[in-house]
Structure 1
Amino acid sequence: MATTHEIKVERREDEGKGASRRLRHAAKIPAIVYGGELKPVSIQLDHETVWLASQNEWFYSSILDLSLGGDVQKVLLRDMQRHPYKQLIMHLDFQRVNDNETLRTSVPLHFLNEDTSPAGKSSDVVVMHELNEVEVECLPKDLPEYLEIDLAALSVGDIVHLSDIKLPKGVEIPALKQGKEHDVAVVIAKHGQEDVVEDEAAEEGAEVPASKVAKDDDK
Structure 2
Amino acid sequence: MELQVMVNERETGKKSLLKQLRRDKKTPAVIYGANFKPEAVWVDEKEISGIIKHSKTSVLTLNEGKKKLTAVIKDVSYDALSDRVNHVDFMKIEAKKELDLTIPLELEGACKGVKEGGILDFIVREIEIRTIPSKIPHSVKIDVSDLAIGDTMKISELHIPEGVTVLTPGDHICISIQAPRKEEEAAVTEAEAGAAEPEVEKKGKDAKGAPEAEGAPRRAESAPKRAEGAQGRAEAQKPADKK
TM-score, normalising length: structure 2: 0.69
Which residue is equivalent to 1:130?
Answer: 123
Q: CA offsets, 1:135-155, max 9 Å, x none? A: 111111111010011122222
Which residue is equivalent to 1:171?
Answer: 164
Structure 2 stretches of 5 or more lacking a match?
A: 203-243
Cα displacement (A) at 1:189: 1.9
Name the amino acid aligned to 1:47.
Answer: E
The alignment-based identity, stated in percent, is: 23
1:1-219 to 2 correspondences below 5 Å: 4-54=2-52, 56-59=53-56, 61-86=57-82, 88-113=84-109, 115=110, 117-123=111-117, 125-176=118-169, 182-192=170-180, 193=182, 195-196=184-185
Contact 2:108/2:143 (CA < 8 Å) preserved in 1? yes
Name the amino acid aligned to 2:112.
Answer: P
Contact 2:59/2:72 (CA < 8 Å) preserved in 1? yes
Q: CA offsets, 1:90-126, max 9 Å, x none? A: 322222122222211111111111x2x4323212x22
Cα displacement (A) at 1:206: 9.8
Query: For residues 172 and 152 of structure 1, what CA distance do their matches in structure 2 show?
Result: 25
Cα displacement (A) at 1:127: 2.0
Query: For residues 162 and 87 of structure 1, what CA distance do their matches in structure 2 show?
Result: 29
Max Rg structure: 2
Cα displacement (A) at 1:22: 3.0
Query: For residues 192 and 58 of structure 2, what CA distance do their matches in structure 1 show?
Result: 46
Q: CA offsets, 1:57-76, max 9 Å, x none? A: 422x3322211124322222
Query: For residues 191 and 91 of structure 2, what CA distance do their matches in structure 1 show?
Result: 47
Q: Quick one: structure 1 residues 130 and 88, their matched pair in 2 at CA, closer, same or farther if it must change by over 3 Å? A: closer
Higher helix share: 2
Cα displacement (A) at 1:159: 1.6
Query: For residues 136 and 173 of structure 2, what CA distance do their matches in structure 1 show?
Result: 23
Name the amino acid aligned to 2:119.
Answer: V
Query: For residues 187 and 101 of structure 2, what CA distance do their matches in structure 1 show?
Result: 37
Q: Quick one: structure 1 residues 136 and 205, their matched pair in 2 at CA, closer, same or farther if it must change by over 3 Å? A: farther
TM-score, normalising length: structure 1: 0.76
Between 1 and 2, higher relative CO (CA 8 Å, sep ≥ 6) is seen in: 1
Query: For residues 201 and 33 of structure 1, what CA distance do their matches in structure 2 show?
Result: 59
Query: For residues 191 and 95 of structure 2, what CA distance do their matches in structure 1 show?
Result: 53
SS at match of 1:99: coil
Q: Where do 4+ consecutive residues of structure 1 move more than 6 Å?
A: 201-209
Contact 1:28/1:46 (CA < 8 Å) preserved in 2? yes
Contact 1:36/1:98 (CA < 8 Å) preserved in 2? no
Name the amino acid aligned to 2:167.
Answer: P
Name the amino acid aligned to 2:105.
Answer: L
